[in-house]
Structure 1
Amino acid sequence: MNARNLATAAFTFALSVLSSLAVAGEIKPFSQQEFDQLNKAGQSVVLDVTAPWCSVCKQQKPIVENLMKQPAYKDVTLMTIDFDSSKPILKNFKVTMQSTLIAFKGGKEVGRSIGDTTPSGLEALIKKAVN
């Protein structure tokens, strides 16, 4: 491959990565400061409380990740919280079980789900953060 073809291939790859990011919601670890900033700005946030040993969490993960890739949820930030190491955070959000998802819109809780592994149920919760 010559230098021009290599540069074209690299540019095409970079463009495809950037365009996929523009239509995907962000998934990141929970940060109280960022959570507060997003809520103050009126943004959509979904908290995802998981544990590595939780079989329900393992069922939820690919469903939630696929939903977050959809253009409809590009403005939603999904923040993950580890159930085992984040007890003070869980207490603040009144979470007593792993596999809990909580939707926020503009700083207000608009929905909560515990143990749901259905794509339609998980999508309905994420939609509450958008609408």
Structure 2
Amino acid sequence: MTEIRALFAGLAALILVGSVPATAAEWKAYSPEALAAAQADGKPILVDVFAAWCPTCRAQNPILVKLTKQPKYKDLLVLKADFDAQKEDLRALNVRSQSTLIVFKGDKEIDRSVGSTNELSIEGMLDKTL
């Protein structure tokens, strides 16, 4: 009987969590197609260009995770691009370095930074997409 109650409690929790509106940005892997689709939909977009070996990228990541959990960024789409594996795709965006952050509002590039780990500066960039 206890197992059945636990099962129902778990299902109820899942239903409640599933019915809560999204309050954080959506994160996806970067692809030119994902960027084009989000631009066509007029979405606010952050392209986060990282490299696994990059200390600046590792410093940026927790800042981005923290900021994009804020409800004001609920409509933001974060596209995470691998600098080493996606060099060809990133050339179209004129990306020359890892730790590059690019924000778009629809199909218009609004701002770009390379190597910034200042939380207020990054937040200011993201705010431009709102």
* Residue correspondence of structure 1 range 114-129 to structure 2 within 5 A: 114-129=114-129
2:63 paired residue number: 63
Q: What is the SS of the residue equivalent to 1:3?
A: helix
Q: Tell me the TM-score normalised to structure 2 length.
A: 0.91
| Alignment coverage as a number of residue pairs | 129
CA contact (8 A) 2:67 2:123 kept: yes
Deviations 1:59-105 (CA, angstroms, capped at 9, x unpaired): 00011011111100010000011011111122111111100000000
Q: Distance in 1 between matches of 2:118 and 2:16?
A: 33
Q: Tell me the TM-score normalised to structure 1 length.
A: 0.90
Q: Which amino acid aligns with 1:12?
A: A
- Structure 2's unaligned 5+ residue stretches are none
Q: Which amino acid aligns with 2:24?
A: A
- Structure 1's unaligned 5+ residue stretches are none
1:8, CA displacement in angstroms? 2.1
Q: Distance in 1 between matches of 2:25 and 2:129?
A: 12
Q: Which amino acid aligns with 1:8?
A: A
Q: Distance in 2 between matches of 1:43 and 1:7?
A: 38
Specify whether residues 96 and 25 from structure 1 end up closer, same or farther in structure 2 by C-alpha distance, changes over 3 A only: same
1:109 paired residue number: 109
* Residue correspondence of structure 1 range 1-131 to structure 2 within 5 A: 1-16=2-17, 19=20, 22-130=22-130
RMSD, matched Cα: 1.6
Q: Distance in 2 between matches of 1:17 and 1:58?
A: 31
Q: What is the SS of the residue equivalent to 2:117?
A: coil
CA contact (8 A) 2:51 2:82 kept: yes
- Which range moved further: 121-130 or 10-19? 10-19
- Which range moved further: 100-109 or 88-97? 88-97
